Amino acid sequence: MKNKNHNHSKLPNLIIIILLITMIIFVSYMQVNNSCSSYGEKILHQEDEIISINNRLIRYNESWSSLTSPRNLKKIIEYHNLDMMLPENKQIVRIESKISNKMTAGLNIK
Amino acid sequence: MEKKRTLVIEITIIIFFGLIFFRLAYLHLTPPEWITSRTEGMRLLIQKSNPSRGQIVDRNGELFALDAPGYTMYADPKYIKKHGNIELVSSIISKELFYDKNILMNNLLNSKRAYYPLLIKKPETHTSFKNFSPRDNLSITYKDKTGKNIVLNGVVLKKERIRSYPKGLVLSHVLGYINFDRIGSGGIEQSYHSYLLGKEGLRKGKKDARKKEIYDAREIDRPAEDGAKITLTIDQEIQNITEDVIYQMFLKFRTKSAWAIVQDVQTGEILAMASYPTFNPVEYNKVDEEWRRNRAISINFDPGSTLKTASIGIAIDKGVIDVEDQFDCENGRWLYAGKYLNDWKNFKTLNVQEILKNSSNIGTAKIMLKLGDKDLYDGLKNFGFGEKLSINLPGEEKGQLNDIKKWTKISSSRIGIGQGITATGLQMITLYSTVANDGVMMKPYIVKKIESFEGDLIHEYKPEVLRKPISLATSQKLREMLTTVVDTNGTGNKAKIKGYKIAGKTGTAQKVKSSREGGGYYDDKEVVSFIGFFPANNPQISILVMADEPSIRVNGKLPGGGTVCAPAFKEIAEHTIKYLKISPEGKRIYITQAEN
């Protein structure tokens, strides 16, 4: 009789263990699945961010290009009453390479 | 017994639910086709991503054309009727986009379409989008004056790529434009369309109930490949001054049109190419087609006296004449083969140098007769007349040099002075660059390199020698002679720059009447030009300036190339000299320092 009781209590324990293991596997799977999904969300978000940063960069490049066009620079220079001009030839110091003389450079001042 | 029964029931229940659990788990992990086929269509996500069209930059990397983010705003009248508020949408949109509210409301109420365009393909930075932001696939958010966000269901901001030309009108004829379907339809945009286009991207996967992509279900992810970057030989600084100068010339002499080219004589690179009237590439359809024409390459004109450089050069090269040879210029009027030929002044005897300096038609015509038809024809062919230079821009013309079989007795005397032959601006500047470059004819080119969007070099264009139409000795003689044209009493003296030796030639050609108008030449319509290079002792840059039909008279007469174009040449040349820091000896070395 004692033996029978022993066998009877052993079976539900086994079932409980199996259920527990299954539950653990299930929960782990869910957790892995959730974290994968959350990483996926993050990646998607970052992909969107890259696109939006790239778009911002394009817009900055575009407006920089527009700002630095000679016409706009001229307007800005005039607006600030600056008297700017390109140097005359006599204001330019030219440096030529003098490889034959083993010099790094030579001044060519007129 | 009872306990045993309970155990059996327990086991049965566990097995039953266990089986259900395992079956569900199995279905979840490896769903069979009968399940997936039902949901696949609904969950399938296929996204095609458009590539950005390639950028066009100048030789210094200055951006001239790029794709910028933008939107098309449209309304879905059907959706608004079901889930939105037509009154609200109409009142906000009409206020922000300056629509008539009643008309808009009426259109939205009566339209059965799912697409009613409100604002098509405008950049994100467009003022109209200031208060709008995209919300989801079927609605947008509007921020009112108080800062309150209002959702407009059924109004959509669809992302678009918008072609942007940040420098505005500058270089528009060279850049071209793209049409509504984003197909290059002019200039570089057209001729390099296949490079600029890029490749469409594809993303295939699944989406969730909110129509958002499920990342881990992504099957295909092939990003779009942006179009290649085209680097031009153009320099924005030189381009800008060239455009400014020809515009001023256009205004001052009220010309019909004007165009100019700046070229590096040693490499053949085009540094500037301008044409006026001009247009905004973004609004290309708002101007007449004629305004979009790149005149520098697409207008065939009688080159007039500027061609004398070639014809006299050929005669010298063939050894038929020399610089000091003298010709009787018949006191300004000469009858040959039953036709009169006139000079602008009553010249008597001139040597070859004086003939070129004073641009004598009679002197040149006599040289041509001495040279002979065949040598003149072959010489001009060698200079590239009558054939395209293949600069790879749409609309390039080849000019007209009639076959020698069609020449009459007087043909050489007229063709030699630039009549009865037509050429493009590009052909003419190539002629002068050849003279400047010791007789070596370089192929003109405007694209320096093509790079993939990742920066890999696809193609690099290098200076290319076409041929050598004249010898070094002839080119040196011509250079010397052309400097006399810019002397104090030469026809091109207004091109003179202090401290620099300038070589050049003026041209004034009457325009040809059409056969409907009886043929011949107009007395009051002419094409004037000045083409030259500098420093003449070591040429670096050549410049062509042309004006079509200047209408403001100077001293009661229509002005010639020396009056209209030579000052423009001077202005462009002076700026270019300073900008490229070209010394009078022709050196271009660039360390600058202010003088005390």
pLDDT along chain B (596 residues), means of 10: 80 87 84 77 86 94 93 89 87 87 85 82 82 85 88 89 92 95 94 95 86 83 94 95 96 95 96 95 91 94 93 95 93 90 91 92 95 95 94 94 93 93 96 96 97 94 95 95 89 92 92 80 89 94 96 85 95 94 75 39
Backbone angles phi and psi of A81, in degrees to 5? 55, 40
CB contact under 8 A, A59 and B595: no
Q: What is the DSSP letter of A95?
A: E
Burial B174-202 (b: 16+ CB within 10 A, else e): bbbbbeeebebbbbbbbbbbebbbbeebe
Q: In chain A, what residues touch B240 (CB-CB under 8 Å)?
A: 69-71
Encoded amino acid at B421, one letter: I
Largest Cα–Cα distance of chain A, in whole Å? 123
Residue to mutate among A13, A92, A104, with most B CBs inside 10 A, is A92
Q: Which amino acid is at B574?
A: E
Helix (H) or strand (E) holding B118: strand B116-123
Q: Are strands B333-336 and B132-136 parallel, antiparallel or unpaired?
A: unpaired
- B168–A66 CB contact, under 8 Å: yes
Site from B578, B580, B585 to mutate, A interface, most A CB atoms within 10 angstroms: B578
pLDDT at B588: 64
| Strand B339-342 relative to strand B333-336, pairing | antiparallel
Which residue in A has a C-alpha nearest to residue B66's C-alpha?
A62
Per-residue confidence (pLDDT) for residue A102, from 0 to 100:
46
Buried b (16+ CB within 10 A) or exposed e, B258-292: bbbbbbbbbbbbbbbbbbbbbbebbebeeeeeebb
Name every residue whose Cβ is closer than 8 Å to that of residue B7 and which is 6 or more positions away in sequence: A8, A11, A12
A6 interfacial to chain B (CB closer than 8 Å): no
Nearest to B167 among A15, A19, A65 (CB): A65
Query: Nearest CA of chain B to the CA of A61: how many Å?
Result: 8
Separation CA B336–CA B327 (nearest Å): 15
Residues 6+ apart with CB under 8 A from B225: B51, B198, B199, B201, B452, B453
Flag if A70 and B578 touch (Cβ within 8 Å): no
Pick from B477, B528, B468: which is nearest to B503 by CA?
A: B477
Asked if B62 and A92 come within 8 Å (Cβ–Cβ), the reply is no
Is the separation of the CB atoms in B294 and B307 below 8 Å?
Answer: no
Query: Which residues in chain A are closer than 8 Å to B62, comparing Cβ atoms?
Result: 65, 68
pLDDT of residue B37: 75
Are β-strands B229-232 and B56-57 bridged in parallel, bridged antiparallel, or unpaired? parallel
Mutation for testing the B interface, residue in A89, A90, A95, A104 having most B CBs under 10 Å: A89
In angstroms, rounded to a whole number, what is the distance separating the alpha carbons of residues B132 and B264? Answer: 49
Q: Are B46 and B221 in contact (CB under 8 A)?
A: no
How many Å lie between the alpha carbon of A99 and the closest alpha carbon of chain B?
16
Q: What is the predicted pLDDT for the residue at B331? A: 92
Contact predicate B49/B223, CB 8 Å: yes
Inform me whether the pLDDT recorded for A108 exceeds 50.
Answer: no
Let me know: does B276 contact B243? Beta carbons within 8 Å: yes
Among B358, B355, B353, smallest CA distance to B490 is for B358
| Chain B hits for A88, Cβ within 8 Å | 578
DSSP state letter for B423: B
Amino acid identity at B545 = V
**Which burial class, exposed, middle or buried, applies to B300 when counting CB atoms under 10 A from its CB (0-12, 13-18, 19+)?**
middle
The residue type found at A21 is I
Distance from CA of B563 to the nearest CA of A (A): 26
Of A61, A86, A95, the CB nearest to B579: A86
Q: Give the C-alpha separation, B118 to B74, whole Å.
A: 5
Does the distance separating the beta carbons of A91 and B594 come in below 8 Å?
A: yes
pLDDT score, position B186? 92
Question: If you count them, how many residues does chain B have?
Answer: 596
The residue count of chain A comes to 110
Tens of pLDDT, residues A38-49 = 888 899 899 989
Task: Calculate helix-pair angle for B425-436, B472-485, nearest 10 degrees.
Answer: 110
Q: For residue B464, what pLDDT is reported?
A: 95
Between β-strands B139-143 and B132-136, what pairing exists: parallel, antiparallel or unpaired?
antiparallel
How far is Cα B520 from Cα A67, in angstroms, rounded to an integer? 50
**B-chain residues within 8 Å CB-CB of A36?**
216
Q: Using a CB-CB distance cutoff of 8 angstroms, which residues of chain A are in contact with residue B14?
A: 15, 19
Question: In B, which residues are within 8 Å of A8 by CB distance?
Answer: 3, 7
B573 burial via Cβ count (<10 Å: 0-12, 13-18, 19+): buried
Q: Which of A58, A73, A75, A90 to mutate to test the interface with B (most CBs of B within 10 A)?
A: A58
Kindly identify which residue of chain A lies nearest to residue B578, measuring between CA atoms: A86
Q: Which two tokens stand for residue B12?
A: 């049965």
Both structure tokens of B484? 């006399």
Residue B596 distance to chain A (closest CA, Å):
9
Identity of the residue in B63, B167, B213 whose CB atom sits nearest the CB atom of A61: B63
Closest by Cβ to A61, choosing from B66, B241, B583: B66
Given the DSSP bridges, would you call strands B541-548 and B349-351 parallel, antiparallel or unpaired?
unpaired
The C-alpha of B590 sits at a distance from chain A's nearest C-alpha, in angstroms, of 7
Distance CA A62, CA B62 (A): 10
Structure tokens of B229? Answer: 């970057």
A68 touches chain B (CB under 8 A): yes
- The size of the A-B interface in CB pairs under 8 A is 108
Cα distances (Å, whole numbers) of residue B59 to B234, B247, B271, B435, B591 = 6, 23, 9, 25, 19
Number of other residues whose CB lies within 10 A of the CB of residue B94:
17
Q: Do A94 and B167 touch (CB under 8 A)?
A: no
A43 touches chain B (CB under 8 A): yes
Neighboring chain A residues of B271 at a CB cutoff of 8 Å: none
Structure tokens belonging to residue B309: 């450089």
Contact B592 A87 (CB under 8 A): yes
Task: State whether residue A97 sits within 8 Å of chain B by CB.
Answer: no
Whole-number CA gyration radius for chain A: 39
Q: Is the dihedral of CA B406, B410, B416, B419 positive or negative?
A: negative
C-alpha to C-alpha distance for B573 and B536, rounded to whole angstroms: 12
- Whole-model pTM: value is 0.85
pLDDT band at A109 (very low <50, low <70, confident <90, very high): very low
